[in-house]
Amino acid sequence: MAKSSVDLTARQRNILDYLVEHVNEHGYPPSMREIGQFFGIRSTNGVSDHLRALERKGYISRSAQKGRGIQLLRSADGAQLTRSTVSTSPLKGPDAANWVEVPVLGRVAAGMPILAVELAEERLSLPAAMVPPESFALRVNGRSMVEAGILPEDLIFVRKQPRVDNGDIAVAMVEGEATVKRWYDEGGRVRLQPENRDMEPIFVEADRELKVLGKVVGVWRAIH
């Protein structure tokens, strides 16, 4: 049964509405300091008391390991919130044409290949100038591309294309498993080269199944 906002104080309801609006506008929740500044609450302990109450009543969940670790569960009217009902950025009004939705299709290995996940976990709304059309995003596992500035848990933006040039950073499927590496076609085989001097390349001979999913065109990293 959906909760009713009658179990919320006026301040708790206002804070919950602010959380929803902030996520819709920015794509991520506000920090404790931002909540305090917005509502004139001087101490983070005071903010934390309100967030604990919202969590106890089932409207949010929190992660102590993340600086902005607030997940919205229900709106103040009791409606359940999901990634599809809480937008990651405002695709409304006359500026909507300047934004594109990029699906996050799971994880890719910056290390040994891992099974690809091709169901959209979420969608990001981004400025159209930031990513090419027909792009998708993957979250990175592993450290094999750290010297190219691609770190674990980064999101990489990938332009769909069936071929890449030597030296491009590619997302490739090796016998059904996905990896991100620099691509080098060496004639009878392809070398998938990591950007980590402590790791060895992956050599894919001509008799193995290999498919290019696209070229990496950008990286996004959350700062907590």
Q: Choose, from 4, 181, 211, 215, the residue flagged as catalytic.
A: 181
* 174-185 burial: b if 16+ Cβ within 10 Å, else e: beeebbbbbbbe
Q: Choose, from 135, 144, 160, 215, the residue flagged as catalytic.
A: 144
Is the Cβ–Cβ distance between 89 and 127 less than 8 Å?
no
CA 28/CA 147 separation, integer angstroms: 28
Catalytic residue check, 144: yes
Catalytic residue check, 92: no
Selection from 153, 199, 145, 198 nearest residue 172 by Cα: 145
3-state secondary structure 167-222: CCEEEEEECCEEEEEEEEECCCEEEEECCCCCCCCEEEECCCCEEEEEEEEEEECC
CA 56/CA 6 separation, integer angstroms: 15
Residue type for 175, please? E
- Read off the tokens for 2: 């959906």
Residue 80 CB coordination number (10 Å): 11
User: What are the residue numbers of the active site?
Assistant: 144, 181
